[in-house]
Amino acid sequence: MKLHVVILAAGKGTRMKSALPKVLAPLAAKPLLWHVVETAKNLDAASINIVVGHGAEHVKKAFADEAINWYLQTEQNGTGHAVKQGIPDLPDEDVALVLYGDVPLIGQQTLTSLTDGLAKHDLAVLTAILDNPIGYGRILRDQKNKLSGIVEQKDANETQKAITEINTGILAANVGKLKQWLSALSTDNAQGEEYLTDIVSIAYQQNEHIFASQPQSIDEINGVNSKVELATIERRFQQIQAKQCLQQGLTIVDPSRFDLRGKLSFGQDCLIDINTIFNGNVTLGDNVIIHANCVLSDCEIDDNTVIHPNTVLESCQIGADANIGPFARIRPGTSLADETRIGNFVELKNTQLGTGSKVNHLSYVGDSQVGENTNIGAGVITCNYDGANKHKTVIGSNAFIGSNAQLVAPIKIEDGATIAAGSTITQKVPEKHLAVARSKQRNIADWNRPKKNK
Ligand code: UD1
Ligand code: CA
């Protein structure tokens, strides 16, 4: 008995007020639907079948690399009609699990408990008890408390509206039976649609015993219909991730100001101050401190390194015992060895810095290779671009680049060389040489400054 996941994703999402199909709206920087697909993969589903309608091409394109069977629902004739589109190719003896592309937090354990019910039953429905059940389909039970049907809010009478057990929409069923029940659906209801929910009463009338289970957490069943709900789910998702990190020993100064949009790995005793965004894959060693307001994307930071406030790191590697920022920008292709020091308003791009080297203030260093214990003074610029091509700067170890020097690439500055402040360097500087390339100073005595015209 194999498990096939069917995800409904044809809806327009009018209330989102967006040109983007709703299931592509971002949760932690990934489409809502991506989260559901990941959950399906974690369940080891034999196939993932997605029913699309509004913006179908757009949605398919966003998942072009995934092994997904796509089905088109040209008209949104209801959830039952949608499931019909997504299951024709599934073997009758298998199990279909119906999920929703706009319900992204549904958990693996909740779904496993639901599908476990199919060991003894042919239909399993995920229900929940809500203080405020308004808008949801209500669960009907017979005198023996057995599930007997679902009535939609718009079709419910006053007694039924008072029921607090609701239909989450998620269900699992034997494929053969599901096909048969779906073929019996009608559109004789308040919305004139084929309701998936009607299979419950159809099955009940066939004397099926219907299994019901509840989610581990009520947050899991929340759908996204508006930007308000999207923002609420984003925060909830971030809180869940923050809690997982805290439980694994990460110190997070304020979990409500923590944003992880990808994967974060960390060693012991790392500390994350407020308002940092982690994108993609970020790896921290032991005792790494990230101060306030940083953005870290796809980077690796080794033990004891401190990232000072307002620093932006992208696709880079930083060694141990380094100090980066405040206000530093490290761009892709950069790797900084142990004990390096990058100060404020420094931009590094595609640059390798050896152990103990420093760029402390207001510099641009790009396409460069720098040795160990070299000091790059304030305001130094590597002129790596001639208007057409990029060129490389090579600086050895123990060099000293004076403040406000321009190094015009391609250029080589050898070990132990010193560059005088304010120099524009266009030729190789040999080992241990001093290069001075600036106009000589003249002092003119008794200089009268210009006066303002009356
Ligand atoms: C549905 C359930 C309701 C349940 C609620 C939970 C039915 C009839 N009702 O109601 O009992 O409490 O979900 O949120 O099933 N979709 C399609 N094609 C369609 C119609 C819908 O793909 O033709 C997709 C939508 O994109 C959405 C999902 O199915 O992702 C649910 O549809 P929606 O219209 O929101 O159902 P509800 O009225 O909320
Ligand atoms: Ca809905």
Q: Which residues pair with 260 in a beta bridge?
A: 278
Residues within 6 Å of ligand 1 by CB: 8-11, 51, 53, 73, 76-79, 81-82, 100-102, 136-137, 150, 152, 166-169, 195-197, 223
Structure tokens at 106: 């549904």
Beta strand 418-419 pairing with 138-141: unpaired
pLDDT tens, residue order, the chain (454 aa): 899 999 999 988 999 999 999 999 999 999 999 999 999 999 999 999 999 999 999 999 999 999 999 999 999 999 999 999 999 999 999 999 999 999 999 999 999 999 999 999 999 999 999 999 999 999 999 999 999 999 999 999 999 999 999 999 999 999 999 999 999 999 999 999 999 999 999 999 999 999 999 999 999 999 999 999 999 999 999 999 999 999 999 999 999 999 999 999 999 999 999 999 999 999 999 999 999 999 999 999 999 999 999 999 999 999 999 999 999 999 999 999 999 999 999 999 999 999 999 999 999 999 999 999 999 999 999 999 999 999 999 999 999 999 999 999 999 999 999 999 999 999 999 999 999 999 999 999 999 999 999 8
Atom index in ligand 1 nearest the CA of residue 195 equals 8
User: Distance (Å, rounded) from C-alpha 230 to C-alpha 24?
Assistant: 12
Ligand 1 nearest-atom number relative to CA 102: 30
Q: What is the DSSP letter of 449?
A: P
Output the pLDDT for position 303.
Answer: 99
Ligand with minimal distance to 196 CA: 1
Apex CA 177: angle with CA 173 and CA 179, to 5°? Answer: 95
Torsion from C-alpha of 357, 363, 366, 369, nearest 10 degrees? -20
Dist CA 168 CA 99 (whole Å): 10
Q: How far apart are CA 62 and CA 52, in angstroms?
A: 12
Taking the CA of 151 as reference, the closest ligand is 1
361 annotated active-site: yes
Residues 6+ apart with CB under 8 A from 229: 222, 223
Sequential DSSP letters for 156-182 = --HHHHT--EEEEEEEEEEHHHHHHHH
| 308, 361, 391, 433: the active-site residue | 361
Taken in order of first residue, the domains within the chain and their CATH numbers are: 3-221 (3.90.550.10), 227-435 (2.160.10.10)
The minimum-distance atom of ligand 1 relative to the CA of 53 is 22
Atom 36 (ligand 1) nearest CA: 79
Of ligand 1's atoms, which has the minimum distance to the CA of residue 77?
23
Bridge partners, residue 27, by sequence? 30
Q: Comparing C-alpha atoms, which of 318, 319, 324, 328 is closest to residue 306? A: 324
Q: How far is the CA of 197 from the centre of ligand 2 (A)?
A: 13
Ligand 1 site-directed mutation target among 6, 37, 50, 79, most atoms within 8 Å of CB: 79
The two structure tokens encoding residue 246: 């805290």
Dist. CA 159 → ligand 1 center (Å): 23
CA 9 – ligand 1 centroid, Å: 10
Distance of CA 9 to the CA centre of its chain: 20
Q: Give me ligand 2 centre to Cα 168, in Å.
A: 9
Q: Are 71 and 90 in contact (CB under 8 A)?
A: no
Question: Residue 40's closest CA among 79, 92, 70, 4?
Answer: 4
The CA-based angle 228-230-233, given to 5 degrees, is 110
CA distance 381 to 388: 18
Nearest residue to 289 via CA among 264, 308, 275: 308
Which run of H or E residues covers position 138?
Answer: strand 138-141
| Residue with CA closest to ligand 1 atom 22 | 10
Q: Whose CA is nearest to atom 8 of ligand 1?
A: 195
Separation of alpha carbons 417 and 187, rounded Å: 84
